[in-house]
């Protein structure tokens, strides 16, 4: 998959549902498009092209009037919650042009997240956003980090998440150590919610944990089950379960976390990264949340430098792949097939090339 492209026909996280209060329009750049997010007075969250049909003014800079319509701040064109222009102040004596309506984007609210589909609307029904039940489950304690702007293509983030051999040396001293790089993994592919997915599973016995993890979970040595699951172009789910040797699978002994990473393209060389960590212990969630900003900054730093090196001509350069790269190579192939639309069963996906 070309590095400065992204899958268009897919669900991406625009933000948390609570980030969009009633009648407070917000403008975002998603998949190289200006997008208006507007929760109308009826409480329905909508998404439209963020350009007034008259002179391209961002409607997200406008205001909602007392009668519930969104007013363009330039010439006063007014739109209802369906995106129809219902009033033009400068020519109230003339009919409103039939073409005076905003382009809508499919939007779903699920598990407290707002998902937007920026590709072909007719294909949005072929898949649903991946489930994230931990984010809304009462038995889970979740910490949501502030969104991070990553100046790199989102594919680099997906590849980073699928391969933990970078834990050493990039995260050495916190969540990483060289022993994690040696844990073998199995690769699982399955179609979920209409999308082809890739998951790595790493199992370890009598594993001596890095200091931070030993402190988090209270076990210096464990049996461990660790997965990284690309559930679609817009979300990767990480789950870790550990227990004293021989106790994995015993609910009372197990400890762990679920981390959701959403990676939403801004354009071909930038994306927004959101991370949510969920555990069944408020204290454990707080401990992990205290440490993770350092981990996130290390990843952001590495991805930015990688992206910069794509600016240079290849001049004979080629990547050398290791056995640990099997998952990311499969991921690249699946996303490439999605964009070409020749897989047939999953989302037939368009690709948008960055300018």
Residue 180 host element (H or E): helix 178-181
CA–CA dist 194, 3 (Å, integer)? 24
CA–CA dist 222, 211 (Å, integer)? 13
pLDDT band at 83 (very low <50, low <70, confident <90, very high): very high
Alpha-carbon distances, residue 264 vs 30, 48, 87, 274, 292 (angstroms)? 7, 17, 34, 9, 20
- Rounded to the nearest 5°, which phi and psi values hold at 7? -75, 125
> Side-chain half-sphere of 197: how many Cα atoms within 13 Å?
22
Given this model, what pLDDT does residue 1 score? Answer: 54
Task: Give 145-155 pLDDT, tens digit per residue.
Answer: 999 999 999 99
CA–CA dist 102, 12 (Å, integer)? 20
Q: Is the pLDDT of residue 179 over 90?
A: no
Q: What angle do CA 147, 180, 309 make, to 5 degrees?
A: 55
- Full-model pTM: 0.93
pLDDT band at 353 (very low <50, low <70, confident <90, very high): very low
Task: Give 127-171 pLDDT, tens digit per residue.
Answer: 999 999 999 999 999 999 999 999 999 999 999 999 999 999 999
State what percent of residues in the chain have pLDDT above 90: 87
Task: Give 188-245 pLDDT, tens digit per residue.
Answer: 999 998 899 999 999 999 999 888 889 999 999 999 999 999 999 999 999 999 999 9
* Token reading at 38: 């507007």
Mean pLDDT, all residues of the chain: 93
Question: Looking at 268-332, which runs of residues are DSSP E strands?
Answer: 270-279
CA–CA dist 171, 179 (Å, integer)? 13
CA–CA dist 298, 293 (Å, integer)? 9
Average pLDDT of the segment spanning 299-314: 96
According to CATH, where is 2.102.10.10 located in the chain?
A: 22-105
Residue found under tokens 């192939």: 333
Given this model, what pLDDT does residue 211 score? Answer: 84
Given this model, what pLDDT does residue 176 score? Answer: 78
Given this model, what pLDDT does residue 281 score? Answer: 96
Given this model, what pLDDT does residue 4 score? Answer: 86
| β-pairing verdict for 221-232 and 85-87 | unpaired
| CB contact set of 239 (below 8 Å; sequence gap of 6+) | 225, 226, 227, 229, 256, 257, 258, 259
Q: Is the pLDDT of residue 182 over 80?
A: yes
CA–CA dist 146, 273 (Å, integer)? 9
| Distance in angstroms between the alpha carbons of the first and the last residue of the chain | 16
Given this model, what pLDDT does residue 67 score? Answer: 97
Q: How is residue 153 annotated by DSSP? A: -
According to CATH, where is 3.90.380.10 located in the chain?
A: 125-353
Please name the fold of domain 22-105: Rieske Iron-sulfur Protein (2.102.10)
Looking at domain 125-353, which CATH architecture does it have?
Answer: Alpha-Beta Complex (3.90)
Lowest-pLDDT range, 41-45, 208-212, 305-309, 317-321? 208-212
């Amino acid at each position: 998959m070309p590095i400065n492209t992204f899958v268009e026909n897919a669900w991406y996280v625009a933000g948390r549902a609570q980030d969009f209060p009633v009648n407070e329009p917000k403008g975002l750049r998603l998949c190289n498009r200006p997008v208006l997010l507007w929760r109308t007075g009826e409480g329905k969250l909508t998404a439209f092209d963020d350009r007034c049909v008259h002179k391209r003014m961002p409607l997200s800079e406008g205001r909602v009037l007392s009668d519930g319509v969104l007013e363009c701040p330039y010439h006063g064109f007014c739109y209802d919650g369906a995106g129809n222009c219902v009033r033009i102040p400068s020519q109230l004596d003339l009919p409103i042009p039939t073409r005076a309506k905003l382009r809508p984007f499919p939007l779903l609210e699920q598990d407290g997240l707002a998902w937007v589909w920026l590709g072909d609307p007719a294909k949005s029904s072929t898949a649903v956003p991946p489930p994230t039940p931990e984010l809304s489950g009462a038995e889970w304690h979740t910490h949501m980090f502030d969104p991070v702007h990553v100046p790199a293509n989102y594919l680099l983030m997906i590849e980073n998440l699928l391969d933990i051999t970078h834990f050493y040396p990039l995260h050495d001293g916190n969540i990483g150590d060289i022993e994690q790089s040696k844990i073998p993994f199995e690769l699982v592919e399955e179609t979920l919610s209409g999308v082809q997915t890739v998951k790595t599973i790493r199992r370890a016995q009598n594993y001596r944990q890095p200091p931070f993890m030993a402190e988090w979970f209270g076990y210096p040595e464990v049996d461990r089950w660790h997965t990284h699951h690309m559930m679609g172009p817009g979300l990767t789910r990480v789950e870790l379960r550990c227990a004293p040797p021989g106790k994995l699978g015993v609910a009372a002994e197990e400890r762990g976390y679920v981390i959701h990473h959403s990676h939403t393209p801004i354009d071909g060389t930038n994306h927004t990264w959101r991370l949510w960590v969920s555990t069944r212990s408020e204290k454990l969630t707080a401990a992990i949340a205290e440490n993770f900003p350092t981990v996130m900054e290390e990843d952001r730093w590495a991805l930015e430098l990688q992206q910069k090196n794509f600016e240079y001509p290849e001049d004979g350069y080629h990547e050398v792949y290791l056995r640990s790269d099997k998952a990311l190579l499969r991921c690249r192939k699946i996303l490439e097939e999605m964009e070409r639309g020749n897989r047939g069963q999953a989302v037939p996906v368009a690709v948008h090339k960055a300018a």
